[in-house]
Amino acid sequence: MLNIKNDIEYIELLTIGILNQNNIDPVEVFNFAVAKKCKRLILCHNHPSGDTTPSEADIKITQKIKKGAEVLNIELLDHIIICDGKAFTSLVGLEM
């Protein structure tokens, strides 16, 4: 979570998934952000498979969180998928 200057204020681990899926509830995302009065956030998760291509579930949860963020006046700056600490894909350029 970032402040209005895009300085990192908080990093929060929300969930640990299983081998090929992870379920996150937008309430979990916004609970901490609202409590800490953060105005911007970046989501990040990993794909242990080594393929950073966004899944349909990745795109859907990004869309849900983006809608919720708009209601709460929080700016979703990006959703980044990482693997092996080397490769990444940014969902910001995708149609959300």
Which CATH number among 3.30.1360.120, 3.10.129.10, 3.40.140.10, 2.30.29.30 corresponds to the domain 1-38+63-96?
A: 3.40.140.10
Query: Out of 14-23, 51-60, 84-93, which region has the weakest mean confidence (pLDDT)?
Result: 14-23
* DSSP conformation class of 54: P
Helix-, strand-, coil-residue percentages of the chain, each rounded to 5: 30, 25, 45
pTM of the model: 0.82
Query: How confident is the model over 19-45, as pLDDT tens digits?
Result: 666 678 888 889 988 998 889 999 998
Sheet holding 87-90, edge to edge: 40-46, 75-83, 87-90
The confidence band for 67, taking pLDDT boundaries of 50, 70 and 90, is very high
The confidence band for 76, taking pLDDT boundaries of 50, 70 and 90, is very high
Which pLDDT score, from 0 to 100, does residue 96 have? 53
